[in-house]
C-alpha cells in the first residue's frame, strides 16, 4: 500500500465490507444493542444517528473489535472481527474515538505515526510509514503543527490529529465516533468532506454523528439507532422525516430541504404539550423562512393550519407539506391569479386568526387585512431589512415598505416565529379593536 486510502487492504470480492448480523452486545446482562443488523458497502459513507444512549458507540466498538458481541457476528471484509487478532483487526478498521485526550505529551507527528502500529513488526520497519504519515498530516491540515505537543492543541485540532492517525492507518474501513463534536463549522464540513472523499477512493466509513443536518448532508445512507435497535436505514431524505425524528428523539421537529444544499435539515420545535393552540384554526400567508418557521411552530402547537398564498416550491410550501398541509401556492414571479386568490380567501374565512409572516404580495395584503384577527410575524433574526426573506423573489412577493405597513398592526398583534402561538391565542381571546 502506498496511500492511506487509494488502495485499501483486503480483497475485492463482492459483498459488503462491513456486515453486522444480529448483534447483541452490552454491559453485563443488560444489552445495549439488541439484534442489530447492518451492512456498509465499499465506497459508502454511512451515518449513525440516534439519541444519547442509543448504542451508537457500542455498535462502533463491535466493529473495531474493542467489544465482543454477546451473540451475532461482525464481519469485516469477510472475516469475523471476533476471531481476528488485534493487529489484523486494526489493519482492517481504523477508529477515530470520541475522547481524544492524550495523557502524555507526544508531538503531533508521533501520534499520527502511531497509526502505523498495525503495519509494523516488533523488530521490522514499515517502509510506507513516512508517506502515509505525511499524506495524513497534509489532508487533515495538521502538518503545520506536526512538531507541537498534542497537549498544547485545542480540542478541535486534536480531533483532526486523531483523524490523521486513523488515515495513516490505511484501512479499508473507517469508524468514527462523533468526529465533528468539538470542531468549528469550517472544520466540521472539511472533516466530513474528507471522510466522504476517502470513501470515494473505495473505503467504507461508518460515523456516529449527532448533528442530523451534517449527517444528512454528507452521508450516503443514514442508520437510525434507538434503544439498541435499528429503526430505519436508507438515504437521508427517506430516513429523516418529521415523524421519525419526533418518535426517535422524542421532540417534534420540522424537516425541510436546505435551500442551499438540498439535504434535509432538522429543526427541533417546542414541545406541543407545553403550548396548546389545539382548538384554533389559523391561516398563514407569507413567504420565506419566517413563514416556514411560523407554520412549523403553529402546527407543532396543535393548531389547525391553512397556508396560502405562499411561493410555489418555496421553503414555506415545503414545510407546510411536511406537516400535512396543502398550501395555496402562487408562482413567485407572476401576479396572483383569481383562482388562487379565491382559494386563499376561502381558507381565510374559515380561520380564526390570519397570520402574515414575511413578505406578501400587495393584493393579498388587502385580503388578509380584512380579517378580524390578524397577527403580523416578523423575524428579528432575519436581518435588518427583511430582504433576505425570499431569495430571488423581488417582485411579486416584495417586502412592503416597513414604515408603510407597520402602522396597520397594533403592537399587541406583532410576533416573532417563536412567540406566534401565544400572540395568536391572545388575539383570539381579546380581539383587537378595529381602528377603521
Partner 1 sequence: MGTGTGTGSGTATDAGTGTGTGTDAGTGTGTGTDAGTGTDADAAESDTETPGARPANRRSATARALAWSTGLSVVLVAVVLASAAIGPVSLSLPVVAKASLNAVALPTGVTLASTSVGLGGATATVPVPDLTYTSLFAFPVDSTAETIVRSVRLPRIALAVVVGVALASAGTVMQGFFRNPMADPSIVGVSSGAAVGAVATIALSLSIPFGVQGAAFAGALVTAFAVYLIATEDGRTPVATLLLAGVAVQTFLGAVVSYLLLQAGESVEQALYWLMGRLHTATWGQVEATLPVAVVCLVVLLAYARDLNVLLLGEEDAHTLGIEVERTKRILLAVSSIVTAAAVAVAGVVGFVGLVVPHMLRLVVGPDHRVLLPTSAIAGGAFLVATDTLARAGPAELPVGIVTAAVGAPFFLYLLVTREVHSL
Q: Given the rule CB under 8 A, which residues bind partner 1?
A: 61, 64-66, 85-87, 89-91, 93-95, 97, 99, 102-107, 109-111, 114-115, 117-118, 120, 122-127, 129-131, 134, 146-147, 151, 165, 169
Joined together, the cell numbers standing for residue 330 give 402562487
Indicate the residue among 76 and 285 with the shorter CB distance to partner 1.
76
Taking the least distance from each CB to partner 1, the nearer of 102 and 189 is 102
- The least CB distance from residue 356 to partner 1, in Å, is 56
Least distance in Å: CB of 128 to partner 1? 9
Looking at the Cβ atoms of 126 and 346, the one nearer to partner 1 is: 126
* Shortest Å distance, C-beta 140 to partner 1: 16
In whole angstroms, how close is the CB of 127 to partner 1 at the nearest point? 6
Q: Which is nearer to partner 1, 14 or 124 (CB)?
A: 124
Distance between CA atoms of residues 407 and 358, nearest Å: 16
Smallest distance from the beta carbon of 109 to partner 1, in angstroms? 7
Cβ atoms of 69 and 82 within 8 Å: the answer is yes
Closer residue to partner 1 (CB): 169 or 297? 169
Q: Alpha helices of 304-337 — where are they, by DSSP H?
A: 315-322
Instruction: Look at residues 374, 384, 386, 419 and name the one whose alpha carbon lies nearest to residue 288.
Output: 386
Nearer to partner 1, 134 or 220 (CB): 134
Query: Hey, is 124 helix, strand or coil?
Result: coil
The rounded radius of gyration (Å) of the Cα atoms in the chain is 27
Alpha-carbon distances, residue 36 vs 42, 109, 217, 246, 280 (angstroms): 20, 37, 24, 22, 43
Residue pair 203/42 in contact (Cβ under 8 Å)? The answer is: yes
CB of 27 vs partner 1, minimal distance in Å: 13
63, three cell numbers: 466493529
Instruction: Please state the separation of Cα 423 from the chain's center in Å.
Output: 30
**Cβ–Cβ < 8 Å for 91, 104:** no
Amino acid at each position: 500500500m502506498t496511500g492511506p486510502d487509494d488502495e485499501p487492504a483486503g480483497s475485492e470480492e463482492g459483498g459488503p465490507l462491513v456486515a453486522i448480523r444480529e448483534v447483541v452486545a452490552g454491559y453485563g446482562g443488560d444489552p445495549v444493542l439488541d439484534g442489530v443488523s447492518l451492512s456498509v458497502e465499499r465506497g459508502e459513507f454511512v451515518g449513525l444517528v440516534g439519541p444519547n444512549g442509543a448504542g451508537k458507540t457500542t455498535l462502533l466498538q463491535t466493529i473495531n473489535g474493542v467489544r465482543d458481541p454477546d451473540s451475532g457476528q461482525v464481519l469485516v471484509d469477510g472475516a469475523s472481527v471476533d476471531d481476528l487478532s488485534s493487529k489484523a483487526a486494526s489493519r482492517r478498521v481504523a477508529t477515530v474515538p470520541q475522547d481524544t485526550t492524550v495523557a502524555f505529551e507526544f508531538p503531533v507527528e508521533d501520534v499520527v505515526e502511531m497509526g502505523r502500529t498495525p503495519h509494523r513488526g516488533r523488530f521490522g520497519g514499515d517502509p510506507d510509514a513516512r508517506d502515509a504519515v505525511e499524506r495524513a498530516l497534509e489532508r487533515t491540515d495538521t502538518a503545520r503543527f506536526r512538531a507541537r505537543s498534542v497537549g498544547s492543541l485545542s480540542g478541535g485540532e486534536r480531533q483532526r490529529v486523531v483523524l490523521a492517525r486513523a488515515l495513516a492507518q490505511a484501512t479499508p474501513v473507517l469508524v468514527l465516533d462523533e468526529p465533528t463534536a468539538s470542531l468549528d463549522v469550517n472544520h466540521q464540513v472539511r472533516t466530513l468532506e474528507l471522510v466522504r472523499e476517502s470513501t470515494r477512493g473505495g473505503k467504507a466509513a461508518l460515523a456516529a454523528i449527532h448533528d442530523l443536518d451534517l449527517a444528512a448532508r454528507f452521508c450516503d445512507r443514514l442508520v437510525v439507532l434507538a434503544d439498541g435497535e435499528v429503526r430505519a436505514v436508507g438515504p437521508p431524505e427517506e430516513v429523516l422525516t418529521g415523524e421519525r425524528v419526533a418518535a426517535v428523539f422524542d421532540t417534534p421537529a420540522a424537516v425541510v430541504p436546505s435551500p442551499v444544499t438540498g439535504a434535509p435539515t432538522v429543526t427541533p420545535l417546542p414541545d406541543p404539550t407545553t403550548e396548546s393552540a389545539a382548538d384554533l384554526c389559523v391561516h398563514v400567508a407569507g413567504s420565506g423562512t419566517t413563514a416556514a418557521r411560523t407554520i412549523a411552530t403553529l402546527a407543532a402547537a396543535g393548531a389547525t393550519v391553512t397556508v396560502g398564498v405562499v411561493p410555489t416550491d418555496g421553503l414555506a410550501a415545503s414545510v407546510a407539506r411536511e406537516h400535512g398541509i396543502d398550501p395555496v401556492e402562487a408562482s413567485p414571479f407572476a401576479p396572483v391569479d383569481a383562482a388562487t386568490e379565491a382559494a386563499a380567501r376561502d381558507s381565510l374565512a374559515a380561520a380564526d386568526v390570519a397570520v402574515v409572516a414575511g413578505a406578501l404580495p400587495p393584493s393579498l395584503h388587502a385580503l388578509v387585512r380584512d380579517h378580524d384577527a390578524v397577527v403580523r410575524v416578523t423575524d428579528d433574526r432575519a436581518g435588518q431589512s427583511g430582504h433576505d426573506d425570499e431569495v430571488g423573489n423581488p417582485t411579486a412577493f416584495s417586502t412592503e415598505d416597513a414604515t408603510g405597513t407597520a402602522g396597520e398592526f397594533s403592537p399587541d398583534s406583532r410576533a416573532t416565529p417563536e412567540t406566534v402561538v401565544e400572540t395568536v391565542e391572545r388575539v383570539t381571546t381579546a380581539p383587537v379593536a378595529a381602528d377603521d
